[in-house]
Structure 1
Amino acid sequence: MTVIDANRMHEIETRYPEYFHRSFRQRFGGLMVLIATLLYSLYAVWFFDLPKLFAEAHWERVGIYLSQWVSYDVQPEFRIEGDGSIDIRYPRFSPLGDNPHPDWLVNNADGSITVSISGTSRSVTVSRSETIVTAHGVSVPVDVSSGAPKVIGPVPGWMTVYDDNVLADLGFAGNVSISVDRVKIRKRFIGWANFIFDTQSSFFDKPVGEVVSLIVSGPRIKPDQSNLSLAFDDIWNNSEWQHGDVWTKLFQTIVMAFLGTLLGALTAFPLAFLAARNITPNRLLNQILKRFFDFLRSVDMLIWALFLTRAFGPGPLAGSGAIFLTETGTLGKLYSEGLENIDNKPREGIKSTGAQTVLVHRYGIMPQIVPVFVSQTLYQWESNVRGATIIGAVGAGGIGLKLWEAMRTNANWENVAYMVILILIVVFIFDTASNALRHRLMGTKTH
């Protein structure tokens, strides 16, 4: 065991003071950061009143909205007429078309009608005097022969009784509303109804094999138009899903992002040479241009879109202009900083030969900055594809406006899901292509 005397210890302390004489910040910095984080978290909880927010939040709506993204419902209504007959009616724009005969609706011999909500475990039988709801292993009859519906027997937890109505909640499968003269049923299906052909199409409700046969070799449905052309028109002009309008708006979004980014890059490129201190030795001009870039990018793209929609009206022009202004500021800053960080030796070497300024820039600067500039521009283009969706919601055109219109109805969540998936696919494709081009230009490998 080695013993260190006082002199040796003093020598070590003198040589390495950072280990033996640590400052207050070095000794307690981590602890202070932890305490500050905890205090800020407590302040955030108080400022946003998170306990009350979580207590009063409508969490049940999350499940409802998510289910509507991947499903649709059919709402038959059974009206009990004065003569005892039962009249079946569907909403005007029912997914089943104008003359539905679903196999889950059975007319019984005694005049009653049985509707299968979810197989045999959940069903509703409607008759003149009572409605029987079967769910969760029990059958609950509801008497509708008197002035108000009355549940016969104990009322289960999934059934709610009101003065003139009885509501049975059958979970995701749907629900049943019972009154003395009518029974409304909401039956839910997984999937997207009529996604290919709407109820007005000549191909509606036909099996896939029959549709393919008609398109390939079947007789013409319309004498003046081939079945292939008719099928394409029916898909493109689908009144429920509006594929043609959605894809047109999606293409507008892509064009908005491309045009705005391209114009921003073309404008920012020459201005960046004037803003770079090592390229243009004019401090006043440098500062004016850099503050100009700061102004353009400090105003958010969404704010620019609001200004331009007021000036030019709603449409893709306002969206492209908003992206152009924002990208001029962003790319101008990135380009000028890239120019200020170049290696000056190639430039000085070419300049020493007496070459003109244009040639000095072409051969002394451009080879260094082109890969970086293109990489930055591609990244901004990819980002602007997403940004163009957001600004579309304020009237700047594109699929963002279409998405906002579908969300405002609070009923077309399956259309919202469709457009969100399209946006995700487009963003993924552009992200992959942009990354591949950037890696190729920078000379690095993708993993």
Structure 2
Amino acid sequence: MTVIDANRMHEIETRYPEYFHRSFRQRFGGLMILIATLLYSLYAVWFFDLPKLFTEAHWERVGIYLSQWVSYDVQPEFRIEGDGSIDIRYPRFSPLGDNPHPDWLVNNPDGSITVSISGTSRNVTVSKSETIVTAHGISVPVDVSSGAPKVVGPVPGWMTVYDDNVLADLGFAGNVSISVDRVKIRKRFIGWANFIFDTQSSFFDKPVGEVVSLIVSGPRIKPDQSNLSLAFDDIWNNSEWQHGDVWTKLFQTIVMAFLGTLLGSLTAFPLAFLAARNITPNRLLNQILKRFFDFLRSVDMLIWALFLTRAFGPGPLAGSGAIFLTETGTLGKLYSEGLENIDNKPREGIKSTGAQTVLVHRYGIMPQIVPIFVSQTLYQWESNVRGATIIGAVGAGGIGLKLWEAMRTNANWENVAYMVILILIVVFIFDTASNTLRHRLMGTKAH
């Protein structure tokens, strides 16, 4: 064990004072940051009233919306006529088509109708005098022969009785609304109804094998058009899913992002040379251009889109213009800062040979900045593919507007899911391609 005497200790303290005489900030800086973060978090909880927000939030709607993303429902209505017969009606544009005969609906010999909601464990039997709802292991009759529907026996927790209506909630499988003269049933199915062919298609409700046989070697359904062309037209013009319009709007979004980023980079590139202090030694011009870049990028892309849709009307032109203005500011700042951080030795060496300014820039600056500029531009392009979706919602065209229209109906959540998945796929593809190109330009390996 080595013993350090007082002189040696004093010498060490003198040589390394930063370790033995630390300031208040060095000693308690970490603790102060922790306390400040905790206090700010408490303030945020109070300011946004988070306990009340979480308490009063409609969390049940989350499950409803998510279930509608991956399912659809059929809503038959059973009207009890005066002569005791039961008339079955389906809503207009039913997923089952104009002449539905579902196998989950059975006409019984006694004139009643049994509807299977979920297998044999949950079903509804409708007759002229009563409706029997079977669920959760029990059967509950509802008398509809008098002036108001009346539950016979104890009312289970999943059934609610109103003055003129009885509602049975069967969970994800659906629900049943019972009144004196009609029974409305909502039956839910997993999947997306009529995603390939809608109810107006000649191929609707045909098995896959029959559709393939018709397309490959079957007789023409329409004499003036091949079955393959007819199938493509039916898919592209599907009235329920609007594949053609969705894909066209998606392509508009990609074009908006590409065009806006390209024009922004082409505009920002020469301006960046004028804004860089080491390239253009004019302090006034440098400051004017840098403040101009700050102005363009300080106004959010969404705000630019709102301005331009008022000026040019809704459409992809306004979206491309919004991206162009934002990217001119963003890329102009990035490019000018990149130019100000280049190594001046190659530039000075070429300048010393008496070369013209254009050649100095071409051989002394461009080899240093091109990989960085292209990498930054690719990253902004990738980001703008996502941004173009957002600005589309305010009328700037593209799939964002289509997505917003589907959400506003509060009923077409499966269409919303379809478009969200398409956007995710496109963003993933562009993200992967952009990362690969950036790593190749920078000479690094992608992870």
TM-score band, normalised by shorter chain: over 0.9
Offset at residue 15 of structure 1 (A):
2.3
Take 2:365 and 2:27, find their aligned partners in 1: how far apart are those partners? Answer: 48
Distance 1:326 1:15, change over 3 A: same
- What is residue 56 of structure 2 aligned with on the other side? 56
Take 2:415 and 2:157, find their aligned partners in 1: how far apart are those partners? Answer: 34
- Post-superposition Cα deviations, 1:145-183, rounded to whole Å, max 9, x if no partner, equal 111111111111111111111100000000000011100
- What is residue 255 of structure 1 aligned with on the other side? 255
Offset at residue 13 of structure 1 (A):
2.2
Offset at residue 21 of structure 1 (A):
1.7
Q: Which runs of 5+ in 1 are unaligned?
A: none
- Post-superposition Cα deviations, 1:234-290, rounded to whole Å, max 9, x if no partner, equal 100000000000000000000000000000011001111111111111111111111
Offset at residue 16 of structure 1 (A):
2.2
- What is residue 217 of structure 1 aligned with on the other side? 217
- Post-superposition Cα deviations, 1:177-203, rounded to whole Å, max 9, x if no partner, equal 001110000000000000000000000
Offset at residue 9 of structure 1 (A):
2.7
- Post-superposition Cα deviations, 1:287-313, rounded to whole Å, max 9, x if no partner, equal 111110010001000000000000000
Offset at residue 349 of structure 1 (A):
1.4
Take 1:115 and 1:78, find their aligned partners in 2: how far apart are those partners? Answer: 11
Take 2:35 and 2:283, find their aligned partners in 1: how far apart are those partners? Answer: 45
Take 2:272 and 2:55, find their aligned partners in 1: how far apart are those partners? Answer: 53
- Post-superposition Cα deviations, 1:395-445, rounded to whole Å, max 9, x if no partner, equal 000000000000000000000000000000000000011111111111111
**Range that drifts further, 339-348 or 246-255:** 339-348
Offset at residue 32 of structure 1 (A):
1.1
Offset at residue 352 of structure 1 (A):
1.4
- Post-superposition Cα deviations, 1:333-363, rounded to whole Å, max 9, x if no partner, equal 1111111111111111111111111111111
Offset at residue 7 of structure 1 (A):
3.0
Offset at residue 38 of structure 1 (A):
1.1
Take 2:47 and 2:18, find their aligned partners in 1: how far apart are those partners? Answer: 41
Take 2:362 and 2:44, find their aligned partners in 1: how far apart are those partners? Answer: 54
Take 1:446 and 1:317, find their aligned partners in 2: how far apart are those partners? Answer: 35
Offset at residue 8 of structure 1 (A):
3.0
Take 1:278 and 1:19, find their aligned partners in 2: how far apart are those partners? Answer: 40
Distance 1:2 1:363, change over 3 A: closer
- What is residue 122 of structure 1 aligned with on the other side? 122
Aligned length: 447
Q: Secondary structure at the match of 1:132?
A: strand
**Range that drifts further, 341-350 or 170-179:** 341-350
- Post-superposition Cα deviations, 1:347-388, rounded to whole Å, max 9, x if no partner, equal 111111111111111111111111111111111111000000
Q: Which runs of 5+ in 2 are unaligned?
A: none
Offset at residue 92 of structure 1 (A):
0.5
Take 1:4 and 1:361, find their aligned partners in 2: how far apart are those partners? Answer: 61
Take 2:132 and 2:432, find their aligned partners in 1: how far apart are those partners? Answer: 56
- What is residue 146 of structure 1 aligned with on the other side? 146
Offset at residue 30 of structure 1 (A):
1.4
Q: Secondary structure at the match of 1:31?
A: helix
Q: Give TM-score, length-normalised by structure 1.
A: 0.99
Take 1:266 and 1:242, find their aligned partners in 2: how far apart are those partners? Answer: 36
Offset at residue 62 of structure 1 (A):
0.2
Take 1:284 and 1:273, find their aligned partners in 2: how far apart are those partners? Answer: 14
Take 2:277 and 2:16, find their aligned partners in 1: how far apart are those partners? Answer: 42
Offset at residue 5 of structure 1 (A):
3.3
- Post-superposition Cα deviations, 1:94-130, rounded to whole Å, max 9, x if no partner, equal 0000000000000011111000000011110111111
Offset at residue 4 of structure 1 (A):
3.3
Q: Is 2:207 the counterpart of 1:207?
A: yes
Take 1:244 and 1:217, find their aligned partners in 2: how far apart are those partners? Answer: 26
Take 1:79 and 1:366, find their aligned partners in 2: how far apart are those partners? Answer: 78
Take 2:91 and 2:173, find their aligned partners in 1: how far apart are those partners? Answer: 19
Take 1:306 and 1:87, find their aligned partners in 2: how far apart are those partners? Answer: 51
Take 1:417 and 1:279, find their aligned partners in 2: how far apart are those partners? Answer: 50
Q: Secondary structure at the match of 2:98?
A: coil
Q: Secondary structure at the match of 2:148?
A: coil
Offset at residue 37 of structure 1 (A):
1.1
Take 2:122 and 2:24, find their aligned partners in 1: how far apart are those partners? Answer: 70
Alignment RMSD: 0.9
Distance 1:351 1:3, change over 3 A: closer
- Post-superposition Cα deviations, 1:195-249, rounded to whole Å, max 9, x if no partner, equal 0000000000000000011111111111111111111111000000000000000
Q: Secondary structure at the match of 1:72?
A: strand
Offset at residue 10 of structure 1 (A):
2.5
Offset at residue 23 of structure 1 (A):
1.2
Take 1:125 and 1:18, find their aligned partners in 2: how far apart are those partners? Answer: 86
- What is residue 276 of structure 1 aligned with on the other side? 276
Take 2:9 and 2:335, find their aligned partners in 1: how far apart are those partners? Answer: 55
Offset at residue 11 of structure 1 (A):
2.6
Q: Give TM-score, length-normalised by structure 2.
A: 0.99
- What is residue 441 of structure 2 aligned with on the other side? 441
- What is residue 298 of structure 1 aligned with on the other side? 298
Offset at residue 6 of structure 1 (A):
3.0
- What is residue 384 of structure 1 aligned with on the other side? 384
Offset at residue 29 of structure 1 (A):
1.2
Alignment of 1:9-24 (within 5 A): 9-24=9-24
Take 1:196 and 1:271, find their aligned partners in 2: how far apart are those partners? Answer: 50
Offset at residue 19 of structure 1 (A):
2.0
- What is residue 177 of structure 2 aligned with on the other side? 177
Offset at residue 34 of structure 1 (A):
1.2
Offset at residue 17 of structure 1 (A):
1.9
Take 2:54 and 2:346, find their aligned partners in 1: how far apart are those partners? Answer: 62
- Post-superposition Cα deviations, 1:11-69, rounded to whole Å, max 9, x if no partner, equal 33222222222211111111111111111111111100011111100000000000000
Percent of pairs with identical residues: 98
